[in-house]
Amino acid sequence: MALFSSSTQVIPNEAKIPRHVAVIMDGNGRWARNRFLPRVAGHKRGVDTVREMIKHCAVLGVEYLTLFAFSSENWRRPQEEVSFLMGLFMESLKKEVIKLHKNNIRLIMIGDRSRFDSLLCKEIDDAELLTKDNTGLTLTIAANYGGRWDIIQAINNLQKSHPELCGNFSESHITPFLSMSYAPEPDLFIRTGGETRISNFLLWQLAYTELYFTETLWPDFDDKAFNLAIESYQKRERRFGRTSEQLKS
């Protein structure tokens, strides 16, 4: 598709591109404050970074991109900011979904939708339905998502489906009920904005993910900055409990 063919980016070592990248997009408010703008101007600008990041991931051959857009704790923010974020979410969905679809991107939302208004829920359902058979990048947006919520809903649903297993649950019983059961666990986690915490993101799924933290604020996180994260990932040795010697032999 034309949208993606114009990229002139140098692709870092194609052989070891992470299959799944999960991102906490942080620093919008500070980006705006640094420019004497209202915080919401940073959120608006952050949407442009999302668009560029999706394109770049598709070019690189990342299969799953998961973006933390709104945490279950973000309701604690001032009412005007929450409303603005909900509006921006709705507007971006409306504006971008056709483009995503044309580029063979599958869109999935994870998180607790019970606090969203019915119009937003409908927009999300329609977007998921339209793109569900696409075979390119899977873009997951985590909205009103919390890692603890995810684990609890998985266990509750497992118990409802298999009451006979109660008291004997194992990992392989729980994982099919987690929100991201359709995806492999993230290979690379990126948090922009300088904080070095997980903030209740994918707690279960990040158990063996390579973590990358950068001071760069989300609106400034461009293709070059993303490539640095990929390069850092490519230098890591993923041992999963084994020794380095075992991996080499």
Cα angle for residues 154, 128, 49 (degrees, 5° grid)? 95
28 is a contact residue toward ligand IPE (CB under 6 A): yes
* 138 forms part of the interface with ligand IPE (CB under 6 A): no
Q: Does 123 bind Mg ion (CB under 5 A)?
A: no
The only residue of 99, 197, 236, 239 in contact with ligand IPE, by rule CB under 6 A: 197
* Residue among 13, 74, 144, 222 flagged as catalytic: 74
Structure token digits, residue 153: 């809903």
DSSP 181: T
Catalytic site includes residue 26? yes
Contact status: 199 vs ligand IPE (CB under 6 A): yes
30 binds ligand IPE (CB under 6 A): yes
Residue ranges of E strands in 86-135: 106-110
Contacts of 69 (CB under 8 A, 6+ apart): 25, 89, 141, 142, 143
Rounded-to-10 torsion of CA 184, 213, 221, 217: 130
Using CB under 6 A as the criterion, what x/- string covers residues 66-95 for binding ligand IPE? --xxxx-xx----------x----------
Position 187 contacts Mg ion (CB under 5 A):
no
Query: Of the listed pieces 22-30, 117-125, 146-154, 180-188, which binds ligand IPE according to CB under 6 A?
Result: 22-30
200 catalytic? Reply is: no
Distance (Å, rounded) from C-alpha 18 to C-alpha 200?
22
> What pairs with residue 24 in β-bridges?
68, 191
Q: Is 24 in the site for ligand IPE (CB under 6 A)?
A: yes
Does 139 bind ligand IPE (CB under 6 A)? Our answer is no
For residue 200, the Cα-to-chain-centroid distance in whole angstroms is 13
Q: Give the type of residue at 93.
A: L
Residue 28 touches which of ligand IPE, Mg ion, none (Cβ within 5-8 Å per kind): ligand IPE
Instruction: Decide if residue 221 touches ligand IPE (CB under 6 A).
Output: no
Q: What CA–CA distance (Å, rounded) separates 235 from 121?
A: 41
- Write out the binding residues for Mg ion, residues 25-54 only, by CB under 5 A: 26
Q: How many residues does the chain have?
A: 249
Q: Which residues bind ligand IPE (CB under 6 A)?
A: 24-30, 68-71, 73-74, 85, 193, 195, 197, 199
List the catalytic residues.
Answer: 26, 74
